[in-house]
Structure 1
């Protein structure tokens, strides 16, 4: 079920209902939904989303969400994308005890105190508050050194805004950071403008290369294989029925293939 379009081709505000979820996923039972993509649908109210108890992967980016209350009951949720919304509080996410990766770039988080509500999430390893490629950020990201503060607040987190702060690769990241600081000091003492230096520097790898990617949970893989097997079986059955129908038609019309009848 797609949202109805208002004037100016903008989707109207949408409330998540069981009908919408069933239409998007094809699942009859909300508790059977494992992966859910609801990007850019104009969603304002999460409605009954909390009833998807088995949900493990959720994309709600590009909507108008401000309150996350229903998400607090999603104990199995591992990957959550909330970028480009209107979120001011992360407190409900403290109930998502399996959360591993969280993207809240492009929201209205005004204080580091909001991050503190994630301190009890033992599996959380990847956080994103900004995305330069999409020009997304949060108000509190304007504070100098906010990443350091987040790392101290959440010592288990390995990746912040796509940059490794602990674990494998963190030493290289720190080295690059030290080099950047040295270049900045050089530019300030030598009179070389920072704009000129930034124009010369290029990213070593593509955006998101260092992002933490949680391992796929077996239930997601099993569900994907199950759906593929069912689709393949259905295609084989349809093919068999088509062959039978053609044979019956040929017998009914007493059609005998004649090679001389073909024109090339």
Structure 2
């Protein structure tokens, strides 16, 4: 009986329904959903997801999706993760005008022509077609010229396959690369790099400051980071207290026994 119930539940996950969306988000009105994560549920049909017209962040990684047609109506979508699916065409995404970050690593995108449709997305800054961490890729990535062609196609791209190509961070990446090249070239003198009195700091003093914005996605990420940081501090305090108690207990055990005379 339980096996039959499990199969019925699994079948529900094969297609995105209003019931599934409400159970995953707690929202009764589909238009109120801003963030949605449906990772690894075996979904192959996006169903009514197009009704979530105010979606800003969507994670559908690790499913069996082949058609992206229902996503065409998501004009406010900014972050989209479609990694590890069975997608071969990205054409429906050409209508997602607000898209900033797209992850399609681990799919079936076979040629550069399948990516041309994204050129109209002026806000797109981050594209990932391969991810070495999870060994995800696409057939198009096998081309030796793939990277250069994409950078020419998308002159505003800041991050390609997880690597900064322009903007803040790319300078630091290039600096590290130059240092590596210098080391490989054997320019060490007595085990040290030559001195450069006119060298400047790698980044400005304000580089590492967290800047708050009105972007809902960044605000949500900032809140989650703050919550995790707070939890880590509590755990650290608890661990310090337990270590202190243990050390005190061990210290008492090591003291020599006193006998009354």
TM-score scaled to structure 1, two decimals? 0.65
* CA drift at 1:174: 4.3
Matching residue of 1:91: 91
Three-state SS of the structure 2 residue aligned to 1:132 is coil
For 1:185 and 1:112, the matched residues in 2 are separated by 36
* CA drift at 1:62: 0.2
User: Any residues of structure 2 matched to 1:222-237 within 5 Å, and which?
Assistant: none
How many equivalent pairs are there?
A: 191
Runs of 4+ in 1 over 6 A off after TM superposition: 178-186
* CA drift at 1:177: 5.7
For 1:180 and 1:172, the matched residues in 2 are separated by 12
Gaps of 5+ in 2: 187-212, 224-261
User: Any residues of structure 2 matched to 1:14-163 within 5 Å, and which?
Assistant: 14-163=14-163
Matched, 1:217 2:218: no
**8 Å Cα contact 1:53-1:73 kept in structure 2:** yes
For 1:85 and 1:178, the matched residues in 2 are separated by 37
**Distance 1:152-1:180 versus aligned 2 partners, 3 A rule:** farther
Three-state SS of the structure 2 residue aligned to 1:102 is strand
**8 Å Cα contact 1:75-1:98 kept in structure 2:** yes
For 2:127 and 2:158, the matched residues in 1 are separated by 8
* CA drift at 1:173: 3.5
For 2:170 and 2:182, the matched residues in 1 are separated by 18
For 2:133 and 2:217, the matched residues in 1 are separated by 32
RMSD of aligned C-alpha atoms? 3.1
**8 Å Cα contact 1:34-1:220 kept in structure 2:** no
For 2:150 and 2:178, the matched residues in 1 are separated by 19
**8 Å Cα contact 2:56-2:217 kept in structure 1:** no
**Distance 1:184-1:120 versus aligned 2 partners, 3 A rule:** farther
TM-score scaled to structure 2, two decimals? 0.65
* CA drift at 1:179: 7.7
For 1:221 and 1:113, the matched residues in 2 are separated by 35
Matching residue of 2:259: none
Matching residue of 1:165: 165
For 1:182 and 1:113, the matched residues in 2 are separated by 38
**Distance 1:14-1:185 versus aligned 2 partners, 3 A rule:** farther
Gaps of 5+ in 1: 187-214, 226-264
